[in-house]
């Protein structure tokens, strides 16, 4: 069991949690994720590791409240204990490629930090693009700016930065004459799909971080299997980093919808369960 050091809501619905995990912090690498189990009845959910501190022995994760498990996590307070199994997944492929663009959306805005940092340390010129629906949903900008050579923002409603999405900025930059050797994209599946397609169109090899359903995350059950380049891969042990151009996105969406009825009913059931009784 690992203790929660801090937890706070960064922007509406995005929570940041710092967990005490000294052994894990020593082994974390960019691209790794953790399985978190909020309580005895909870599911095992995969969450990207956004940062770690070897000296303090802590690990940081960002998550959106989008279901029962994240709801339970969001309700935790500092001092509570959760089960955490980490670090999992293959390390990201990091090398000096030249100029790289890193795109983050939703939880990705927080979780791309280790990748940005590693790419910078490897000698790349790092251009970071973060997107959100509106200005009030952007976060982590200063932290990312420290390790990026350039940082751009995109909002769907135009309230900050470019009006549009990360791929809009990517295209604008390329159209304006920039050249990128690689793209790293992390966010919700829809966002990654759009950006991977744009990267392909612009001729940039891309890496995405797939987040299909997972149960054990050690390669034992196969629920996370997805088609990449015509082959079946397990996202938990072969990924989660894959080549964006090779992913069968349609299948990924369909497979992610396998348990929507259950997840929805569970969320409702638990909301009535946990939320009731006096006080706002």
Partner 1 sequence: MEDIYKYAGKRLTPDEMKAAIASSRHAMTEQDAIVRSRNFEEVNLGYSIETAQEEAKRCLLCPVPGCVQGCPVRIKIPEFLSAIVEGDFLEALRIVKEDNALPAVTGRVCPQEIQCEGKCTHVKAKRESVGIGHLERFVADLERYSSEKLPVETAEPTGRKVAIVGAGPSGLTVAADLARSGHEVHVYEALQKPGGVLIYGIPEFRLPKELVFYEVDNLKQMGVQFHYNHVIGRIFTVDEMLDERGFDAVYLGVGAGLPRFMNIEGESLNGIFSANEYLTRNNLMKGYEFPTYDTPIYRGRNVAVIGGGNVAMDSVRTAKRLGAENAYLVYRRSRVEMPARDEEIHHAEEEGVEFHNLTNPIRYLGDENGWVRAMECIQMELGEPDDSGRRRPVPIEGSEFTLDVDAVVVSVGTSANPLLTKSTPGLELNRWNNIIVDDKGRTSKKGVFSGGDIVRGAATVILAMGDGRVAAAGIEEYLETGEWPDKVE
Partner 2 sequence: MTARIDGKDYDIIEGETILDIARRNDIYIPTLCNHPDLSAFGGCRLCLVKVEGFRAFVPACATPVQDDMVIETTEEDLDDLRRRILQLILSEHPSACIICADREECLDLHPDPTKAGRVTGCRFCPNRNECDLFDVVKALGVDDIWVETEYKDVPLYRRDPFIHRDYNLCILCGRCVRVCAEIRGVSAIAFTERSHDATIGTAFQGPLVDSSCVFCGACEDVCPTGSISSKMTRWVSIPEVTGKSTCVMCPAGCAMDVGFKWGRMTITEPSEEGENVAQACLKGRYCTVPLTNSKDRLEYPRVTTDGVLRPVKWETALETAVEGLKGFAPEEIGMIVSPSLTVEEAFLAQRIMRGLGSDNIAIASNMAGPMQKAWGGAMDRVAGIGTMTDIRDCDAVLIVGTDLSLTAAVTQVHVHAAWKDGASVFNVKIDPRKGYRHADVIEPDAYGPFMDILLEEVKAPGQQPHTPDRDAAGRIASALKDADKTAILVGPGAFRDAAEGTQVAKLALELFEAVNGTVLLPLWDGGNVQGVLEAGASRCLTPGQCIEQDSGKYSSGRNPLGEGIKALYLTHPVPEIPEGVEFVVYQGPFGSQVSERADVILPSSMFSETEGTVISLDGRVGSITSDARLPNMAKPDWKVFIDMGRALGLDGFDFEAVADITEAVGLPLEPGTHLPPGEPLPEGDRAVRVDDAVNPVGPWPCSATRYRGREIAEDVEDFLEVAASWGWDE
Q: Which residues bind partner 1 (CB under 8 A)?
A: 23-24, 27, 35, 37, 41-44, 68-69, 83-88, 215-216, 218-223, 225-227, 232, 237, 251, 254-255, 257-259, 261-263, 265-266, 269-270
Q: Which is nearer to partner 2, 70 or 92 (CB)?
A: 70
Site string for partner 2, 80-119 (x = CB under 8 A): ----------------------------------------
Phi-psi region of 204 (alpha: psi -120 to 50; beta: other; left: phi over 0): beta
Q: CA 113, CA 126: separation in Å to the nearest integer?
A: 12
Q: Is 8 helix (H, G, I), strand (E, B) or coil?
A: strand
Question: Contact, 37 vs 24, CB < 8 A?
Answer: no
Rule CB under 8 A: say whether 203 interacts with partner 2. Answer: no
Q: Which is nearer to partner 2, 177 or 261 (CB)?
A: 261
CA distance readout (Å), 242 to 36, 184, 227, 239: 22, 10, 10, 6
Rule CB under 8 A: say whether 190 interacts with partner 2. Answer: yes
Q: Which is nearer to partner 1, 150 or 246 (CB)?
A: 246
Q: Which is nearer to partner 1, 135 or 225 (CB)?
A: 225
Q: How far is the CB of 159 from partner 2 (least distance, A)?
A: 5
Q: CA 152, CA 20: separation in Å to the nearest integer?
A: 32
What are the percentages of helix, strand and coil residues in the chain, rounded to 5? 30, 30, 35
In terms of Cβ atoms closer than 10 Å to its own Cβ (0-12, 13-18, 19+), residue 143 is: middle
Q: How far is the CB of 59 from partner 1 (least distance, A)?
A: 11
Q: How far is the CB of 221 from partner 1 (least distance, A)?
A: 4
H runs (alpha helix) in the chain = 22-27, 68-74, 108-111, 113-121, 141-147, 166-175, 189-201, 249-256, 260-275
Rule CB under 8 A: say whether 77 interacts with partner 2. Answer: no
Within residues 110-169, the interface with partner 2 by CB under 8 A covers 133-137, 155-159, 165
Residue 159 CA to chain centroid, in angstroms? 23
Count the site residues for partner 2 by CB under 8 A: 41
Q: Which DSSP helix (H) or strand (E) runs through 37?
A: strand 33-37
Contacted by 147, from partner 2, partner 1, none: CB < 5 to 8 Å by type: none
Q: Which is nearer to partner 1, 9 or 273 (CB)?
A: 273
- Per-residue DSSP letter, 11: E
At 31, list the tokens: 């691209």
Q: Which is nearer to partner 2, 29 or 133 (CB)?
A: 133
- Interface residues with partner 2 (CB under 8 A) are 12-13, 64-67, 70-71, 74, 133-137, 155-159, 165, 190, 194, 253, 257, 260-265, 267-268, 271-273, 275-280
């Amino acid at each position: 069991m690992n203790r929660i050091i801090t937890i706070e809501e960064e922007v509406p619905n995005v929570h940041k949690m710092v967990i005490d995990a000294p052994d894990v912090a020593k082994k974390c690498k960019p691209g790794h994720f953790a399985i978190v189990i909020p309580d005895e009845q909870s599911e095992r959910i995969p969450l990207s590791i956004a940062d770690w501190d070897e000296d303090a022995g802590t690990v940081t994760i960002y998550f959106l409240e989008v279901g029962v498990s994240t709801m339970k996590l969001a309700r935790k307070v500092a001092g509570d204990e959760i089960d955490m199994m980490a670090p999992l997944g293959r390390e990201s492929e990091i090398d000096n490629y030249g100029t790289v663009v890193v795109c983050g959306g939703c939880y990705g805005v927080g979780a791309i930090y280790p990748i940005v940092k590693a790419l910078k340390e490897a000698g790349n010129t790092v251009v970071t693009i973060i997107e959100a629906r509106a200005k009030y949903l952007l976060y982590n900008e200063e932290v990312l700016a420290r390790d990026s050579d350039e940082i751009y923002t995109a909002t769907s409603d135009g309230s900050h930065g470019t009006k549009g999405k990360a791929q809009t900025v990517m295209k604008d930059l390329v159209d304006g004459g920039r050249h990128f050797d690689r793209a790293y994209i992390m966010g919700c599946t829809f966002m990654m799909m759009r950006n991977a397609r744009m990267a392909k169109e612009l001729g940039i090899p891309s890496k995405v971080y797939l987040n299909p359903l997972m149960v054990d995350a050690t390669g034992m059950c196969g629920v996370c299997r997805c088609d990449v380049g015509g082959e079946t891969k397990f996202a938990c042990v072969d990924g989660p980093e894959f080549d964006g151009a090779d992913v069968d996105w349609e299948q990924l969406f369909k497979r992610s919808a396998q348990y929507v009825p259950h997840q929805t009913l569970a969320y409702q059931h638990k909301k009535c369960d946990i939320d009731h009784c006096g006080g706002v």
